[in-house]
Amino acid sequence: MARRDIEFNAEGVTLRGWFYTGDGAQGAAPTVVMAHGFSAVKEMYLDDYAEAFAAAGLNALVYDNRGFGTSDGEPRQEIDPWAQVRDYRHAITYATTLPEVDVDRIGVWGTSYSGGHALVVAAIDRRVRAVVSQVPLVSGHDNFRALVRADFIDGFRAQFDADRLARFRGEPPAMVPVVDKDPLAPSALPTPDSYTWFTETHEKRAPSWRNEVTLRSVEMFTEYEPVAYLPYISPTPLLLLPAQNDVLTPTGLAVAAYEKAREPKKLQILPGGHFDAYVTGFESSSLPARDWFVEHLARWEGPGQLRP
């Protein structure tokens, strides 16, 4: 497979990433558009997924979300879910300009927060012909209440309001850690496995990751409801991959959301917790996704052997 650096314009913001050419692809080939989840950068195992797809003859377009990693965008470290949804669509548009891409065979893949984005994009953008959503956020409202003690919620709301007023006055946005060793300390993702995965992955392979996001990112998280779009994905084929013991984006929320989707769809439960999908459970998560895209975007007859 071959990988090259790419950049493209997203309504005045330059997004950067990688384009993987599928092994053995002849001419325009199926292409999977990919971005990472809450605060993560592409070096946090997205290269492994892209390589798995490319080995099956699928192109993969991977990019950093605006405000993160190598992509431009201000304010830095701010996660606006709707801006990220629009950027998926910009990435699809960019992909359609590449000679390696078959514009009629484009899939989207997302994980965690971007797993929610993939659901929304598949529902509203009919250029998408197949979608895989891994360990997804499906409801910001319900997920926030699963992560934050009820007696802490009013305190968060007061912080959100104070930050909004400060920003109105021209002050810089308030920041909050993504993770903290103490799950009861203020952080965006207050689970022990979040702290372990982010800090270890940062040290091993993603030095550009920063342990902070704007406080408004957390507020926008609480307002984001991908579950509302699930009935509208059909007839685009949907593969949903929740983890068996997910405490960050709770398994039960994803399974319940799946019932709202219409055919064609498939549910496959991954082993372990939220972050196992990237490391110890990588084959369990990447192979079903690969096979789903091959089934619905192209026919695969072995490594590098695609047939229209």
- Residue 201 belongs to a domain: no
Specify the CATH number for the domain of residue 64: 3.40.50.1820
Distance of alpha carbon 109 from alpha carbon 289, whole angstroms: 8
- Residue 75 belongs to a domain: yes
For tokens 């400060």, the residue is: 166
- Residue 269 belongs to a domain: yes
Between helix 215-222 and helix 140-147 the angle, nearest 10°, is 120
Confidence of residue 302 (pLDDT cuts 50, 70, 90): very low
pLDDT digits (tens, 9 = 90+) for 253-301: 999 999 999 999 999 999 999 999 999 999 999 999 999 999 999 754 4
pLDDT digits (tens, 9 = 90+) for 146-193: 998 888 899 889 999 999 999 999 999 999 999 999 988 989 999 999
Burial tier of 117 (Cβ tally within 10 Å: 0-12, 13-18, 19+): buried
Alpha helix stretches (DSSP H) within 148-224: 150-168, 192-205, 215-222
Structural domains in the chain (count): 1
- Residue 192 belongs to a domain: no
pLDDT digits (tens, 9 = 90+) for 99-150: 999 999 999 999 999 999 999 999 999 999 999 999 999 999 999 999 988 8
- Residue 299 belongs to a domain: yes
Contact 187/180 with Cβ under 8 angstroms? yes
Q: Which helix (H) or strand (E) holds 40?
A: none
| Containing structural domain, residue 247 | 2-140+226-307
- Residue 145 belongs to a domain: no
Terminal C-alpha separation, the chain: 19
- Residue 195 belongs to a domain: no
- Residue 111 belongs to a domain: yes
pTM for the full predicted model: 0.95
Using DSSP's 3-state secondary structure scheme, residue 181 falls into coil
